[in-house]
Amino acid sequence: MKIMTFSASKGGVGKTTLSYNFGSWLAHSGYNVLLIDADYQANLSSTFNMFTNQGTLLDVFTDGSPKIRHIKTHLDLLPASPNLDQVESLVHDRMYRELIMMGWLKDNIDQINQYDYVVIDTHPEFGMLTKNMIAVSDYVFVPLEPSDYGFQQSKNQFDIRMNEYRNNSKDPRTGESDIDAKVFYIANRIRHNTNTSHTFKKAIESLPDVVAQIDEREMMNSSTLLKKPVIDLKPNSQSNREFITELEKQFETIRQHME
Ligand SMILES: Nc1ncnc2c1ncn2[C@@H]1O[C@H](COP(=O)(O)OP(=O)(O)OP(=O)(O)O)[C@@H](O)[C@H]1O
Ligand SMILES: [Mg+2]
């Protein structure tokens, strides 16, 4: 069982679109997948027509009863509650507040171990809830936007945040950090045939921790709007067919980075 979180210091970079499409692709490939929506905007949950405040991720933090929903073959979901934005104030006086999710996983490990992959979508900020998700993760995948300036800046910013988090989470008794997630980057929404996109592609090809590149495509946008993963959309052109083949290749590369 591997746990991965999509996180980013920026909003609107594709965390939800990738959680949805990558998770669906894993399930389609025969892996057992649990999706967790850790964003109170609940965009991922809505993609499965799940908008609720009963039995959600919030219950993990309030000693309630979180309820994992079965979506379809190989795919389950623990939805977000719109009230998740209150989680920070609800637990602010608990000592190990960034390790609450870890406690829940430990208590439910037999159930969680039945999944090959747990894929977590987060809110665009490095707050307490996101930190809880990173603490349980083996991997963090960070989508980045394809402008040269914004790309480097967001990448550096995320690196700094992660380092701070690792250092601040050292157990004073052992000097070891509880945070051992490995961070990889995904260049998402790459546009072609502009000067900037050529420079950008060259620049990222030399970065070893950027493990996948995904083009800007209307199909990606449609997938969450139509509530259908890209792999289930009917390609209406040769170029769309090629995009799906390429997307599956990039997803397989991402998967292999978790081995
Ligand atoms: N590769 C892509 N090609 C085209 N559109 C994309 C691509 N990836 C994401 N998008 C679009 O970009 C917008 C933002 O994506 P998404 O909602 O996944 O970002 P997010 O990081 O989850 O945002 P938030 O921070 O608000 O949660 C959406 O309209 C989505 O359809
Ligand atoms: Mg989102």
Residue nearest to atom 31 of ligand 1 (CA): 221
Average pLDDT over residues 43-64: 97
Our measurement of the distance from residue 108's CA atom to the centroid of its chain's CA atoms, rounded to an integer in Å, reads 21
Does the Cβ of 11 fall within 6 Å of ligand 1?
A: yes
Pairing mode, strands 117-122 and 33-38: parallel
Buried-state track 142-151, b at ≥16 Cβ within 10 A, e below 16 = bbbbbbeeeb
pLDDT tens, position by position, 173-224: 999 998 999 999 999 999 877 777 777 778 788 888 999 999 999 999 999 9
Q: Is the model's pLDDT at 151 over the cut of 90?
A: no
Percent of the chain with pLDDT over 90: 85
CA of 161 to the centre of ligand 2 (A): 19
| CA–CA gap between residue 233 and residue 223 (Å, rounded) | 8
Atom of ligand 1 nearest to the CA of 188: 1
Does the Cβ of 44 fall within 6 Å of ligand 1?
A: no
Backbone angles phi, psi at 21, to 5 degrees: -75, -40
| CA–CA gap between residue 151 and residue 163 (Å, rounded) | 18
Pocket test for ligand 1, best of 140, 221, 244 (most atoms within 8 A of CB): 221
Atom of ligand 1 nearest to the CA of 189: 1
Q: In the predicted model, what is the mean pLDDT of the chain? A: 94
The reported pLDDT for the residue numbered 80 is 98
- Tokens 């480097």 belong to residue: 152
Average pLDDT over residues 109-125: 97
pLDDT tens, position by position, 152-168: 888 899 999 999 999 99
Residue 191 three-state SS = coil
Question: Predicted confidence band at 146 (pLDDT cuts at 50, 70, 90)?
Answer: confident
Average pLDDT over residues 75-93: 96
Average pLDDT over residues 140-155: 84
Least confident of 54-68, 145-159, 227-241: 145-159
The reported pLDDT for the residue numbered 199 is 76
Does the Cβ of 28 fall within 6 Å of ligand 1?
A: no
The reported pLDDT for the residue numbered 148 is 62
In Å, how far are 18, 31, 142, 227, 248 from 212, measured between CA atoms? 12, 20, 10, 24, 11
The reported pLDDT for the residue numbered 29 is 98
CATH code assigned to 2-256? 3.40.50.300
Residue 36 three-state SS = strand
| CA–CA gap between residue 119 and residue 219 (Å, rounded) | 21
Does the Cβ of 14 fall within 6 Å of ligand 1?
A: yes
Least confident of 46-50, 55-59, 136-140, 194-198: 194-198
Q: Where are the beta strands (DSSP E) in the chain?
A: 2-6, 33-38, 69-72, 75-78, 117-122, 139-144, 182-190, 210-215
Average pLDDT over residues 6-15: 93
**pTM to 2 decimal places:** 0.97
Best CA proximity match to 220, nearest among 210, 231, 212: 231
Atom of ligand 1 nearest to the CA of 11: 25
Buried-state track 194-208, b at ≥16 Cβ within 10 A, e below 16 = eeebeebeeebeeee
